[in-house]
């Protein structure tokens, strides 16, 4: 199909409809409001459910109920709202319920601001709520990639019976880009949801959706069962992109909007005769440590660039396994790093421009 | 033995799991009434119950239908999620007074406000039972609990919250009644209230809430008999029984 020019939040909403999302439960918060606004009209047009809940806490628990009844469910929010949703997200991970959660990140802590940010990295990758769990977390850099990943995210959630987080920043939510909504996505082997507690019990035993295990031996078994899923994600489902790595002397590590700015930076650097690559994580969990093992020997330094004070930096240090020196550059508070600032930082690290 | 006639049996709406409730607690009677109602209206196979957090947290093991266990106070939100995607299923929550009247008051009010076609079974025993007898929003004035050791003082702890009265003021609610199970006559009345509530839901007529006056002998520090008497003498005067809202009144 041909491309259409759409605003990020609306394109992401339409992608969910294309993916067969049956219900959306959410609560208003900037900068993601166009997403529920779009769905409030288009879900009804498609005979599906849209509910504006009384709070983020209620919204995520509605997602829990609908997912527990076997439906494909979506919610979206932004950083402080995602913080409120952590209760329900933890319960969903514990009860093994699939759902897609879109986080259009803004600055924090507290009420913070409404401009783009990546300061929810830890909230997204370190569980966020109580207990031993992870979300499969995807961080697209373009609207096209966001649309494609959202469509696939519903399958990934169903496959793992685990919530999937789409981590974008306010920039992706608010900007307009041409997108093809009918791109083919990878196929996942999905089984019927025979576990759903949906009140349709003609030919089966009753189903229970639950995360309570009062016997420590039972809970430990459950925790190890969940860990096996996360290990499977780590082993086989890391996603990343390596850009311009051949003979590169330095590589930028960046995800989401920042990796696009890094793409501009490496072009400027190329004009100056400097070969700079990019390591772009697409999954924030599982963190793509395999990408770091593929970095060629020519690379002598890593520069992590984020719209945070260095939340992903810790994962880069783990993945780097002390091989390369790591520098960091971050802009925060809703300020987006300029390509020229990244170039300047690279030059500082490698000791100035090369004139051969 | 050939002439044995069954005059009473356990409802098929309950499983054979042993109940975890303390001796003399009226949760067991209320479970029986909910189960009987679902069986008699032929709804059991189409029902999803939502367990809350509190003494009844394990009742996903007791009700013989599909069940979802909800976070503390969130049962009406979970029920909303289920009902909206499965409008032909019967959905009920079973919540205590800590769960509904305290941490989950917003979810309860807004489920009624949206006119969700669900049934809330609300069990008011004026105390937090599961956590060991702390003060609830429904604890009576002067009542001693582990967090109101000198008795509830309205000056600093407020007056007990009247849930049925409050929910009846919400325009979206269809049917609200407060019942008690302290004697057989009231048990029968309570059953009628549940039959009415689930029938309203079956007919897609909207939000229903039945508040049960219940007892907590262990945390009240009483024998089961004294607890029932205390509920009659102290709770019912403050929490009068009756129908607080019925928008189906006069309908045939």
ipTM over 0.85? The verdict is yes
Q: Which residue of A has its CA nearest to B106?
A: A54
- Beta strand A99-105 with A163-169 is parallel
Q: What is the pLDDT of residue B3?
A: 83
Q: What is the structure's pLDDT at B251?
A: 75
pLDDT of B250 reads: 78
Q: Per residue in B230-250, is it b (16+ CB within 10 Å) or e — as a string?
A: bbbeebeeebebeebbbbbee
CATH number of the domain that residue A263 is part of: 3.40.50.920
Question: In angstroms, rounded to a whole number, what is the distance separating the alpha carbons of residues B96 and B101?
Answer: 8
Tracing tokens 């229970």 back to the chain, one arrives at: A208
Q: Which residues in chain B come in under a pLDDT of 70?
A: 1, 252
Structural domain contains residue B2 = no
Pick A22's closest partner by Cβ from B77, B85, B89: B85
B91 contacts on A by Cβ (under 8 Å): 199
Contacts of B64 in chain A (CB under 8 A): 206
Asked if A247 and A345 sit in the same domain, the reply is yes
On whether residue A271 sits in a domain, the answer given is yes
Question: Which pLDDT value is given to residue A239?
Answer: 98
Cβ neighbours, 10 Å, residue A181: 17
Residue A355 lies in a domain: no
Q: Interior CA angle at A139 toward A105 and A48, to 5°?
A: 75
Band the pLDDT of A203: cuts 50, 70, 90: confident
Length of chain A: 356
Residues A10 and A33 in one domain: yes
In a domain, A356, yes or no: no
| Chain A contact set for B85 (CB, 8 A) | 22-23, 49, 66, 69-71, 73, 198
**Tens-place pLDDT, residues B87-118:** 999 999 999 999 999 999 999 999 999 999 99
CB contact under 8 A, A57 and B58: no
pLDDT above 60: residue A355: no
Give the model's pLDDT for residue A14: 97
CATH number for the domain harbouring residue B223: 3.40.50.970
**Same-domain check for residues A90 and A155:** yes
Number of domains in chain A: 2
Please judge whether A199 and B86 are an interchain contact, meaning their C-beta atoms are less than 8 angstroms apart: yes
Q: How many CA atoms lie within 13 A of A43 on its CB side?
A: 26
Domain count within chain B: 1
Q: ∠ CA(A25), CA(A28), CA(A34), 5° rounding?
A: 90
Q: pLDDT tens, A294-319?
A: 999 999 999 999 999 999 999 999 99
pLDDT band at residue A97, thresholds of 50, 70 and 90? very high
pLDDT of residue A1: 63
Q: Is residue B98 part of a domain?
A: yes
Asked if B229 and B223 touch (Cβ cutoff 8 Å), the reply is no
If asked whether residues A10 and A142 sit together in one domain, one would say yes
CB B230 within 8 A of CB B147: no
Which chain A residues are Cβ-neighbours of B79 within 8 angstroms? 65
Q: What is residue A279's predicted lDDT score, i.e. its pLDDT?
A: 98
With contact defined as beta carbons under 8 Å apart, do A288 and A253 qualify?
Answer: no
Burial level of A105, CB count in 10 A (0-12/13-18/19+)? Answer: buried
Strand partners, B208: B119, B175
Of A168-172, A225-229, B104-108, least confident by mean pLDDT is A168-172
B14 contact A CB<8A: no
B128 located within any domain = yes
For chain B, the residue count is 252
Q: What domain range includes position A91?
A: 4-236
Q: Is residue B12 part of a domain?
A: no
Regarding predicted confidence, which is higher, B2 or A322? A322
The per-residue pLDDT for range A132-146, each reduced to its tens digit, is 999 999 999 999 999
Would you say residue A232 has pLDDT above 90? yes
Cα distance between residue B200 and residue B179, in whole Å: 17
* Residues A249 and A298 sit within 8 Å (Cβ to Cβ): yes
B167 in a structural domain: yes
A128: left (phi over 0), alpha (psi -120 to 50) or beta: left
């Amino acid at each position: 199909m041909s491309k259409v020019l759409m605003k990020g939040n609306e394109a992401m909403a339409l992608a969910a409809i294309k993916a067969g999302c049956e219900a959306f439960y959410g609560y208003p918060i900037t900068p993601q409001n166009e997403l529920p606004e779009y769905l409030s009209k288009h879900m009804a047009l498609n005979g599906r459910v849209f509910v504006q809940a009384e709070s983020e806490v209620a919204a995520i628990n509605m997602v829990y109920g609908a997912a527990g009844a076997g439906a494909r469910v979506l919610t979206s929010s932004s950083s402080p709202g995602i913080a409120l949703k952590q209760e329900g997200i933890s319960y969903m991970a514990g009860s093994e319920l699939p759902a897609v959660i879109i986080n259009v990140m803004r600055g924090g802590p507290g009420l913070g601001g409404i401009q783009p940010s990546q300061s929810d990295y830890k909230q997204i990758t370190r569980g966020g709520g109580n207990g031993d769990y992870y979300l499969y977390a995807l961080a697209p850099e373009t609207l096209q990639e966001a649309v494609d990943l959202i469509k696939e995210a519903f399958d990934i959630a169903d496959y793992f019976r685990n919530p999937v987080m789409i981590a974008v920043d306010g920039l992706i939510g608010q900007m307009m880009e041409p997108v093809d909504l009918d791109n083919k996505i990878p196929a996942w082997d999905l089984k019927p949801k025979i576990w759903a507690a949906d009140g349709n019990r003609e030919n089966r035993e009753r189903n229970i959706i639950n995360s309570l295990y009062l016997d420590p031996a039972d809970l430990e078994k459950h925790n190890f069962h969940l860990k096996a899923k996360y290990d499977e994600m780590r082993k086989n489902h890391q996603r990343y992109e390596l850009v311009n790595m051949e003979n590169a002397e330095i590589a930028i590590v960046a995800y989401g909007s920042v990796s696009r700015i890094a793409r501009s930076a490496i072009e400027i650097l190329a004009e100056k005769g400097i070969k700079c690559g990019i390591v772009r994580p697409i999954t924030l969990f599982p963190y793509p440590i395999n990408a770091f093992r593929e970095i060629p020997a020519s690379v002598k330094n890593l520069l992590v660039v984020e719209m945070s004070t260095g939340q992903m930096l810790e994962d880069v240090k783990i993945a780097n396994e002390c091989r390369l020196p790591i520098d960091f550059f971050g802009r925060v508070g809703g300020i987006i790093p300029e390509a020229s600032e990244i170039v300047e930082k690279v030059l500082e690290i490698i000791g100035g421009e090369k004139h051969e | 033995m050939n002439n044995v006639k069954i005059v009473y049996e356990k409802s098929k709406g309950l499983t054979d799991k042993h109940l975890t409730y303390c001796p003399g607690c009226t949760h067991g009677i209320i479970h029986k009434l909910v189960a009987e109602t679902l069986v008699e209206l032929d709804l059991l196979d189409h029902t999803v119950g939502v367990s809350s957090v509190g003494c009844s947290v394990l009742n996903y093991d007791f009700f013989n239908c599909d069940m979802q266990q909800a976070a503390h106070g969130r049962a009406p939100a979970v029920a909303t999620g289920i009902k909206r995607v499965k409008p032909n299923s019967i959905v009920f929550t079973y919540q205590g007074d800590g769960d509904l009247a305290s941490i989950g008051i917003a979810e309860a009010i807004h489920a009624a406000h949206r006119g969700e076609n669900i049934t809330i079974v609300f069990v008011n025993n004026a105390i937090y039972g599961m956590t060991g007898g702390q003060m609830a929003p429904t604890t009576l004035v002067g009542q001693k609990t582990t967090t109101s050791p000198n008795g509830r003082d309205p000056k600093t702890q407020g007056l007990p919250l009247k849930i049925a009265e409050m929910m009846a003021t919400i325009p979206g609610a269809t049917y609200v009644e407060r019942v008690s199970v302290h004697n057989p006559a009231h048990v029968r009345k309570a059953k009628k209230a549940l039959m009415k509530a689930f029938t309203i839901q079956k007919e897609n007529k909207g939000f229903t809430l039945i508040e049960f006056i219940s007892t907590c002998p262990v945390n009240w520090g009483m024998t089961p008999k004294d607890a029932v008497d205390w509920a009659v003498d102290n709770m019912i005067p403050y929490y009068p029984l009756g129908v607080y809202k019925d928008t189906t009144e006069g309908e045939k």
